[in-house]
Chains A and B, each alone.
Chain A
Amino acid sequence: MVTFVVNGRTRSLEVDPETPLLWVLRDNLKLTGTKYGCGRSVCGACTVLVDGKAKRSCVTPVGEVAGKQVLTVEGLPQNHPLLQAWLAEEVSQCGYCQPGQIMSAAALLTEKPKPTDSDIDEAMRGTLCRCGTYNRIRKAIHAAAGKGGTP
């Protein structure tokens, strides 16, 4: 039995503690906002926050988050500065990588409320976008930072 908090709600699940958190979120909790892209932590699509820090959930065994706070894209309020900025800048194209991008950005803004371009490069480098929305992601992060974008 693994117990942890997801988006503010305590969940206790009978799952193999080796199961990657990604698949507990998607298959057990039906929270499909967090995406599967590679299964080996090289694309960032699966990024969630665990106790405020960005984690690649595809390689994080769910046993490791026992007793911790997990935040997924579904846990962000609609008026969150990052979501507002993402819409204002029309960042998404196909949209598949965007939850991972947004959660990585949320982690960045927690550490660095006013990130520079290099801060953004460094923090966001592991989250890939095949549509090439990187320039707009950068603009959106700056815009959200202007409005105090911590989750």
Chain B
Amino acid sequence: MKRIRVLFAGNPNTGKSTLINRLSGSRIHVSNWTGTTTQKITAIVNYGDYTLELIDLPGVYDFLPTTLEEEIAIREILNNPPDVIVNVVDASHLERDFHITVELTEMGIPMVVVLNMVDEARSRGRDVDTEALSKRLGVPVVATVARTGEGVDRVLEAIMDSRKPVPVVKYDEDIEEAVSQLSSLIDHPSRRWIAVSMLIYDDLDLFPVNDEIKKRARELKKKFEGRDLLLEVEGKRLSFARELARITYVVRENRQTITHKLDRVLLNPFFGSIIMLLLLIFSFRFAFFLSSPWVDFISTVEEVLAGWLASTGMPSLLLSFLVDGIIAGVGTVISFAPVLFLFYMVISFIEQSGILARAAFLMDTFMGAVGLPGKGFVPLIMGFGCNVPAVYATRTLESPRDRLKVAMMIPFMSCSARLPVLVLFASIFFPKNPVPVVLLLYLLGVIVAFITAFLMDRFIKGGTSFSVFELPPYRIPPLRTIIFHSWMRTLDFLRGAGTVILLAVIIVWFMLNFPEPYSEHSLFGLISRSLTGVFSLIGINDWRLIGSLIPGFIAKEVIIGSLAVSYLGAEPIHALGLLEGLKMIVGGFYQAVIQTFASIPAVFGIPRFQVPVSGGPLGQILSSVLDTPSALAYMVFVLLYTPCVATVAALKQEFGKRWAILSIAYQLTVAFLMSFIIYRLAVMIHG
């Protein structure tokens, strides 16, 4: 079985992954590009006696990188030259897209050009002639609509038929002389492209050549001092790209598209913002209402497993370990999955439909005020749902400094896990107006986030970031791709953060059960009590309140459960028979399905703030242990204190241990400071 390695390269948004999806059916594998968290999609297809490995490179605007994604792409081509490159272009704007094509012709690797989205091109009055282009470049050219599958069957054939392109661009004589001198020293199929690039790009470490060659390149570069070599080279390439487009377009009109018309409304500052806001609300509701029946189901399964274990009559400490340690740990990890999956679906849709770019456009001014690009708005908004996918979403930003800034802001966006805690306390201590109190807390988080960005701007040096981006046409992304990507990203998270969360749960279990279970003499209690001195500054004297913040580090919603256990005692585990348990699981599953469908109308329904009752027995105890100012201080602390373990894991993955730890330390400091200030203010006002 001969193996053929095929890389798919092209501008962003040309439908490369849709094409690969179409070509491979189900044999797709998702991993990460080594040393990064950027998704790498690989597919295996059999064609006759051959096995084709199809690899999707990140979309690039230039092979000389300005972003991490572009760096990944060029390094893959240079360090692992493929057997074939499939260049996917958007048939609607060939003049621009062929720039990459022209660069690829200098890489000396057999190529295929795929003119994708010909349906969209047709609707704007542009028709293509694949024969003419094929003749000029000397490589197979296929026209496709990857979305529907039109023409896709011819792509594999074309790959087998691929040839090295006829060299197309010739630079001025003196440049060609230098290029030829340099490329004769390089042993690599892409020697021409490497030679040209070494003359126009400063970071020579990008190229897989030895120091001798780099030295020679620097010498040759000196001859061109005073000339804008990059512009001369790019000028010729761009000229040629236009020439290729001229050859390929048989008709080239400028009919207005639906996108153009829709943007009149969606990019209007007033209407656009309203529509975006509605979309946002809708997305959040979609993610939460449709996932909570499944989170409930997972709890039911946990309960049943606990019941089965209890019925074996094993020693209570072992039972506790298995139930409150292992099962609870695994359960916590898995219960992230429904929310994340739906959240990722929403984000995937927003990205691929073109809506993300419009939101970035509307928010650019505000984000610019703290030195961030408009795109930075999206991870921040996502943070209100869950901080974890939000941290990963920072990848869409180009500058590493921007990514870090936004990532440090995200944990202050009060995620949905904090909401139950805030709502509980608000309804107990501010029964007349719990909703405004919660909203003000959210606002506080946002303000702190922006102050953080501002401070980082001042104290952390870095290059200036620029913000230029494309607004792609509106498209309805295929459901299959959305589901696939979301599922892969969810699995990614479970793999990455899963062990960390499980470990954290087990550690907390130890702290709660040794040396004396669930009492103030447990490790948990000892640590909590040692902190009462500090916390009394914000009016919190009860060790159980302080202690609950510790499991809150794992997942914020656990705070309520922990408070309940601390004050009301652990709930006994009911032993369950096998049949009884099975009935509960099946029943629970059925319930989850019904509830999911029942929630659909609620997603579209009128916004309704649910005001819960005052919290039952826990509520009564809390109101006796805290007064209003200290309750407020506690709420502020919970709002700001640390990111949850999963977020820390995400931060570590994306930015390294240093920043992950720094964010914890920073947040603890900010949380304490703000709680203190607010406590003092509240005491002054309330007396």
Pair from one complex: no
A contact set with B: CB distance below 8 Å: none
